[in-house]
Amino acid sequence: MKKEKENRIEMDRRGFLKAAAISSMAFCMSPSLEKVKAAGSAVGIQPYLANRSVPPSMAAVRCQRTLGSGKAAFTVSAIGYGCMGLNHNRSWHPDRKAEIALVREAVERGITLFDTAESYGYHVNEKLVGEALKGYTDRVFVSSKFGHKFVNGVQVKTEEDSTPANIRRVCENSLRNLGVETLGVFYQHRIDPNTPIEVVAETVGELIKEGKILHWGMCEVNAETIRRAHGVCPVTAIQSEYHFMHRAVEENGVLAVCEELGIVFVPYSPLNRGFLGGMINEYTKFNPDNDNRQTLPRFQPDAIRANTRIVEVLNAFGRTRGLTPAQIALAWLMNKKPFIEPIPGTTKLSHLEENLRATDVVFTDDEVKELEKIISSIPVTGNRYDALQESKVQNMATMPMFSTKNLLAHVNIRWYSLME
């Protein structure tokens, strides 16, 4: 008990060290109070950096990326903010006031893409993000997700639900929770094996026409599914796990099809749930009530001990360049392809600043090859998910196409191009 308490104190120390400073910053901010007309107004954010008062020496995002292509395109900061960990599955976190101040500070530092979901505490995360971004929504895009099945607010983890009725229900809830009139991006969180992707694409296409969402995307899907969905309603973004310890999208055709079709790729967990930041070791204790890492094979003590070799490589590489492991991991992603947009999350101002500085890092081709050669020689120990989630992701990677008979039996698809 004493050792566990010491670990808890250590995590609290790292997590709350900046809380007082963050709270005081909230009083210095002067957010725009304009009412949201539509998330699309954010496309024209110019100049960049959005907040000119940020001094050159301060960590901030000073470059943009265009996500998607053609009429499905929009421009955002070169790095986004994954909001899940503000309340969900990431151990102890600051109080609500400090977290709201941190999100607002991220806006002031130039971040214009914020990622949340219905399932991150079942509406809790969306409401938190909505409160934090109140008064800022003319300057940012907010993405959310649909597709998980809930009964009385409890997720049914063995099933998914991307029926048109549920997509619309989640959309309305997300708009209300976030306090916006239009969602920047609306992702399908996981494939629903009982609902053809064409039906999903047609439904979100209708929501786009109705002005309730601007763009749409999918999470953890294979290349064939992307093509099929894109043929019905142009896809703007694909979100899947991608980092030094999980590079499957390089081999399974997902990155290639994104590049071919002009779709942005958004890596979630770009620091492998914090591991590549170098702050987790085999003695780390996770909050048993709010941290899924304690159940993941890759975060068991033996696996952490073995995989620490990868962090050691990043430390050695960064030592002569003045970079932290987290900055190297994020910069590697942004240097790989111009259409890659990582969305690291944090509850700490110090880590936010660390992440922001990664946007200034440029690697040579030789540096990228050096990093990849060394790290690829180190085997990764442990699966990224527990057995249930791992099987669902693997099934998505090999999911067969619906037959024409099944498609027509499900719904009468109207094939059309929304963007013509």
Residue 31 lies in a domain: no
CB 184 within 8 A of CB 225: no
Q: Report pLDDT digits (tens) over 394-406.
A: 455 554 444 444 4
Q: Which domain holds residue 15?
A: 2-26+40-410
Q: How far apart are CA 310 and CA 302, in angstroms?
A: 14
Band of residue 352 on the pLDDT scale cut at 50, 70, 90: very high
Give phi and psi for 81, each to the nearest 5.
-130, 115
Choice among 287-296, 313-322, 327-336, 346-355 with the minimum mean pLDDT:
287-296
Mean pLDDT confidence for 192-209: 97
What confidence score (pLDDT) does residue 49 get? 61
The percent of residues above 70 in pLDDT, for the chain, comes to 80
In a domain, 232, yes or no: yes
417 in a domain, yes or no?
no
Residue 34 falls inside a structural domain: no
What is the average pLDDT across 119-131? Answer: 93
Tell me if 416 is assigned to some domain. Answer: no
Residue 72 is predicted with a pLDDT of 83
Asked whether the predicted pLDDT for residue 146 surpasses 50, the reply is yes
Tell me the β-bridge partners of 306: none
In this model, does residue 208 exceed pLDDT 50?
A: yes
**Catalytic annotation present for 120:** yes
* pLDDT score, position 388: 76
Beta strands across the sheet bearing 264-268: 81-82, 113-115, 141-146, 183-188, 213-219, 237-241, 264-268
Total domains in the chain come to: 1
Residue 106 in any domain: the answer is yes
AA letter at 322: G
pLDDT at 420: 38
Residue 91 in this model has a pLDDT that exceeds 80: no
Distance CA 381, CA 192 (A): 29
Catalytic residue among 48, 81, 120, 385: 120
Percent of the chain with pLDDT over 90: 68
Domain of 272, CATH number, reads: 3.20.20.100
Task: Please check whether residue 393 lies inside any domain of the structure.
Answer: yes
Mean pLDDT of the chain: 84
pLDDT higher at 202 or 406: 202
220-252 pLDDT, tens digit per residue, is 999 999 999 999 999 999 999 999 999 999 999
Q: Is residue 35 part of a domain?
A: no
For residue 419, pLDDT beyond 90: no
> What pLDDT digit, counting tens, does each position of 15-58 carry?
433 333 333 333 222 232 232 233 333 333 333 565 667 888 89
- Asked if pLDDT for residue 8 goes beyond 50, the answer is no
Q: What is the mean pLDDT of residues 372-394?
A: 85
